[in-house]
Chains A and B, each alone.
Chain A
Amino acid sequence: MTQDTTFHHGDAPNAAPIIQMTDIEKHFGNIIALAGVSFDVVPGECHCLLGDNGAGKSTFIKTMSGVHKPTKGTITFEGQEMNFNSPRDAMEAGIATVFQDLAMIPLMSVTRNFFMGREPTKGSGILKRFDAERANEITMEEMRKMGINLRGPDQAVGTLSGGERQTVAIARAVYFGAKVLILDEPTSALGVRQTSNVLATIDRVRKQGVGVVFISHNVRHALAVGDRFTVLNRGKTLGTAKRGEITPEALQDLMAGGQEMAQLEGSLGGTI
C-alpha cells in the first residue's frame, strides 16, 4: 500500500489549534476511561484518533463535544478556555459530531432528525415556525451529496438501512460543523461508494478550513485522509505521528495496542 492518495494533504499543521485538549482525564466512578490525554486540532487538518476497542476514543471525543465534562484537564477553544456544559454549547461554538451510536431518533423523519435541535425557522415573533420545505430540500440535497438518494425526506429514520442512517448523521454533522467536525467511526456501516464519498467529504471540508477529527479502525481509511495520527491505548496517548513519518505497518501495530495480532498475515496480505 502506498501512502500516495488522490487527496490533497494540508501542509504540516503549524497554524494555531482551533481546539486544544490538555491532560484530559475522565473517570466514571472507579473506572478510569481517560488517564491524561492531550490532543489538538488545527484548521484544515484531519487528525485521526486511533486505538483498540475500549481505548477511550469515544469517551475522549465526547468530552470534546460537550457530552462529558472532563474530570481533569483543560479545553481551549480558539485560544480561550472553554467549559462546555452541554452538546448544545459545543455545537453553538461550531463543533459538530457524528457519534458512534449516531444520536438518531428512529420514530422521527429524516428531516426532523437532520435538524434536531437546530431547526430552520421562518416568520418572526409568535409566528416563528419550523420551515419544513427548506429543511426537506436541504436534507435531500445534503444526502445526495453523500451519494445516497433518499426515498423521501419524511421517511422515518428507523426504517433506513444502517448505512443510510450513518450517512444521515454524517451529512448532518458536515452541514453544521462550521469549525470542527468529529467523526466517530463514520464508515463502519458504509458501502464502498459511500465510504469514498465520506473520505472525499472529509477532504473537501478540510480544504474549507474545518478541523476534522476522524476515528477509525481502518488503517487504510485513516492513511487516506489523515494528516496526523494520534494513537490511544488504555486511556493514554501512545503518541502522535505526522503523515509520512510512519509506515502503515507501524501504525497498525500501534493501533493494536502493541499486542500481537492474530497470525493471519499471509492470507490477509498485511493490510486489514
Chain B
Amino acid sequence: MTDTTTPIGDERLKQETFFAKLMKRPELGAIAGVILVVAFFLATADSAMFTLSGIMNFMTPAAQLGILAIGAALLMIGGEFDLSIGSMVAFAGLFFGVCVVTWQLPLILAIPMTFVFAACVGAVNGSIVIRTGLPSFIVTLAFLFILRGLSLVGLKLATNGSTQLRGVRDAVEGDWLAPIFSGDAFEGLFAALAQAGLIDTFKSGTPKVPGIPVEILWFVAIALLATYVLLRTPAGNWIFATGGDSNAATNSGVPVNKVKISLFMLTACCAALVAIITVMDAGSTDARRGFQKEFEAIIAAVIGGCLLTGGYGSAIGAFFGAIIFGMVVIGLTYTGFDQDWFQVFLGGMLLIAVLFNNAIRKRVTGER
C-alpha cells in the first residue's frame, strides 16, 4: 500500500521567499547586528574608524575574542557551557611562557605541548561534567577559580614571586614558527600596495597597516572550518544532536560523551591558541590574561544565535558576534561618547539577542 502520487513540489507548502528562508538561519541576528552597529558608527564615529587601519584596530580584539567565541559556540550547540575559558587563557599562557622562557623549548615543541596541556584540562572539565551529571555551568565555574588561582600560584613559582613572566619575546625571537602565531601576515603584499599608492602610507612611504594581524587569519580560518564541520560533516550532526537532546542522541547511536569531551577539549584549545598569540604579542604573560573573556565569548556566541539550551546555533554567527563586540569596544573611542557606555551596550545587545533567538527558535520548531 504505497502512495501513487509522486510529489513534485508540495501543494501544502507555500513558496518560501528568500527573506523567509533567511529568517530561519541562526546567524541572521548577528548579521543584522553587524549592519546595525556599522550604521551606528558610520553615523556617529570619526571616519577614521572605517579606514583600513581603523578596521584592523577593531578586528584584532574581535579576532582574539572570536577564536574563543567559536569554541564556546560549538560547545553551546553541544549543550554545555565552559566558564573557565578566560582562566584557561591565563593558565595556558603560563604553561606556554614556562615552556619557552624557563625550559627554553623551541616553539615547535612548546606550541603542541601547550595545546596538549590545554586539551587535557578540557578533558578533565568534560569528564567531570559527564561522570557527575552536574550542570557544566557549576563545574566550569569551579574551574574558573581553580585555573585562575593556579595561574597566579604558578606564575609566582616560575618567577620567584612576580605575577608577570617576561622574556617571551627574546625567547621566541628568530624561531621559524613565530610568524605563524605572531605579528602581521602579507607584509610584502601590503608594502607593494603601499608602493602602488593603493593604501595609506606614512610620510616615510611605509604602509600605515603593515599587514594583517595573524589572529585575524586564524579567526577567519577557524570560523570557516567550524562552519564546515557543523554543516557538512557527521561530527556536526552529532554536535547538534547531542545538544538538542542528549538522551535521544545516545539512543540513536551518537557517541554523546565523546562529542562533549571533544568539545570541552576544543574550547580549551581555542583558549590556548589565544594565549599563545597574545603572549607572543605582548612578550610576557600575567595572571589577568583572559580576564572575563568567558562571559564575552558566551555573549558573542549568543549574539551569534546560539540557544542557551543547546542544539541550535552557528559558528558564523559567533564570528559576527565577536566582530560586533570588537566594533563596539573600539568604536566608542572614535565617537564622542563616554567609553563606559560599552557595558550598557553589551548588556543591551545580549538581551535583544536572547529575545531574538527565542523568536527564531519558535519559528523553526513551530513552537509547541
Which residue numbers of A lie inside 8 Å of B, CB to CB?
Answer: 65, 67, 86-88, 91, 97, 99, 101-108, 112-113, 115-119, 121, 128-130, 132, 144-145, 147, 149, 151-152, 156, 158-159, 193, 196-197, 200
- Neighbour of B10 across the interface among A86, A99, A147, A149, CB < 8 A: A149
With A87-B253, A144-B2: A158-B240 Cβ-Cβ less than 8 Å = no
Contacts of A147 in B (CB 8 A): 1-3
Q: Is B245 an interface residue (CB 8 A)?
A: yes
Could you give 10 example pairs across A and B, Cβ below 8 Å? Answer: A87-B252, A88-B255, A99-B251, A104-B248, A107-B240, A108-B240, A108-B244, A117-B253, A130-B232, A196-B1
Q: Known contacts A108-B241, A147-B3; decide if A130 and B234 are in contact (CB<8 Å).
A: yes
State the CA gap A106–B365 with chains docked (Å): 7
CB distance from B222 to the nearest CB of A (A): 16
A107 B365 Cβ-Cβ under 8 A: yes
Contact, CB under 8 Å: A149 / B3: yes
Q: Contacting A117 at CB < 8 Å: which of B2, B241, B368?
A: B241
Interface residues of B (CB under 8 A from A): 1-3, 5-7, 10, 12-13, 228, 232-234, 236-238, 240-241, 244-245, 247-255, 311-312, 361, 364-366, 368
Which 5 residue pairs across A and B have the least CB separation, nearest first? A117-B253, A158-B365, A159-B366, A105-B244, A119-B234
Q: With A147-B3, A152-B13 given, is the CB distance from A86 to B311 under 8 Å?
A: no
CA distance A116 to B251 in the complex (A): 10
A149-B5 CB under 8 A given contacts A88-B255, A119-B234: yes
B365 near A105 (CB under 8 angstroms)? no
Question: Is B312 a contact partner of A107 (Cβ separation < 8 A)?
Answer: yes
Q: Is the CB of B234 within 8 A of A158?
A: no
The answer to whether B365 touches A200, judged by C-beta atoms less than 8 angstroms apart, is no
Q: B361 and A107: CB pair below 8 A? A: yes
Neighbouring B residues of A144 by C-beta, 8 Å: 2-3, 6
Whether A121 pairs with B234 at a CB distance below 8 angstroms is yes
New A-B pairs, 7, CB < 8 Å, besides A105-B244, A116-B237, A159-B365: A65-B251, A86-B250, A116-B254, A121-B234, A144-B6, A152-B13, A158-B364
**Docked complex Cα distance between A39 and B10 (Å):** 45
In the complex the two chains form, is A107's CB within 8 Å of B249's CB?
no
Closest residue of chain A to B244, judged by CB? A105
Across the interface, A103 reaches (CB within 8 A) one of B251, B361, B368, namely: B251
A113-B12 Cα distance, complex, nearest whole Å: 22
B331 to chain A, nearest CB (A): 34
Q: How far is the CB of A183 from chain B (nearest CB, A)?
A: 14
Given known A-B contacts A105-B248, A107-B244, A158-B365, A145 and B254 have beta carbons under 8 A apart: no
- Contact A119 B364, beta carbon cutoff 8 Å: no
The residue from B12, B237, B365 contacting A130, defined by CB atoms under 8 A apart: B237
A119 lies within 8 A of B1 (CB): no
Nearest to A111 among chain B residues (CB) is: B237
The answer on a CB contact under 8 Å between B311 and A117 is no
Q: How far is the CB of A258 from chain B (nearest CB, A)?
A: 32
A residues in contact with B248, CB < 8 Å: 101-105
Question: Closest A-chain residue to B16, C-beta based?
Answer: A152
B361 closest partner in A (C-beta): A107
* Bound form: Cα–Cα A116–B252 in Å: 6
Distance of A102 Cα from B251 Cα, bound (Å): 9
Please report the C-alpha to C-alpha distance between residue A119 and residue B253 in the assembled complex, in whole angstroms: 11
Among the listed B2, B251, B253, which residue makes an inter-chain contact with A118, where contact means beta carbons less than 8 Å apart? Answer: B253
CA of A117 to CA of B240, assembled, Å: 11
Q: Known A107-B312, A108-B311, A112-B240; judge A129-B232 contact (CB<8 A).
A: yes
* Cα–Cα, bound, A102→B250 (Å): 12
A197, B253: Cβ atoms closer than 8 Å = no
A159 to B362, CA, bound (A): 10
Known A-B contacts A105-B311, A158-B365; A67 and B251 likewise in contact (beta carbons under 8 Å) = yes
CB <8 Å contact, A130 and B241: no
List the A residue with the shortest CB-CB distance to B246.
A105
When chains A and B are docked, how far (Å) is the Cα of A11 from the Cα of B134? 52
Are the CB atoms of B10 and A152 closer together than 8 Å? yes
Instruction: Name the residue on A nearest B253 (C-beta).
Output: A117
* Across-interface contacts of B13 in A (CB, < 8 A): 151-152
Which residue in chain B gives the minimum CB-CB distance to A96?
B253
Closest B residue by C-beta to A160: B366
CA distance A129 to B227 in the complex (A): 13
Q: CB-nearest residue of chain B relative to A149?
A: B7
Contacts of B245 in A (CB 8 A): 103-106
Distance (whole angstroms) from the CB of B135 to the closest CB of chain A: 20
Q: A99: which B residues are within 8 A, CB to CB?
A: 251
Cross-chain contact B365 with A116 (CB below 8 angstroms): no
- Give min CB distance, B4 to chain A, whole Å: 10
Contact assessment for A88 and B253 in the assembled complex, using a CB-CB cutoff below 8 Å: yes
Kindly list chain B residues whose C-beta atoms are within 8 Å of the C-beta of A196.
1
A104 to B247, CA, bound (A): 9
A145 and B2 contact, CB distance less than 8 A: yes
B232 contacts A117, C-beta separation under 8 Å = no
Q: In the bound complex, how far is the Cα of B311 from the Cα of A87, in angstroms?
A: 21
Whether the pair B12, A151 counts as a contact (CB closer than 8 A) is: yes
| Chain B, residue nearest A104 (CB) | B248
A62 CB to closest chain B CB (Å) equals: 8
In angstroms, Cα B23 to Cα A94, docked, is: 40
Complex CA gap A200/B368 in Å reads 32
Residue of B nearest to A147 (CB): B3
Q: Tell me the nearest residue of chain A to B307, going by C-beta.
A: A107
Contacting residue for B233 out of A105, A128, A151, CB 8 A: A128
A152 surroundings in chain B (CB, below 8 A): 10, 13
Residues from chain B with a CB closer than 8 A to the CB of A88 are 253-255
Inside 8 A of A107's CB, which chain B residues have their CB? 240, 244, 311-312, 361, 364-365
Distance (whole angstroms) from the CB of A225 to the closest CB of chain B: 14
- Chain A residues contacting B238 (CB-CB under 8 Å) are 116-117
A112–B365 CA distance with the chains assembled, in angstroms: 14
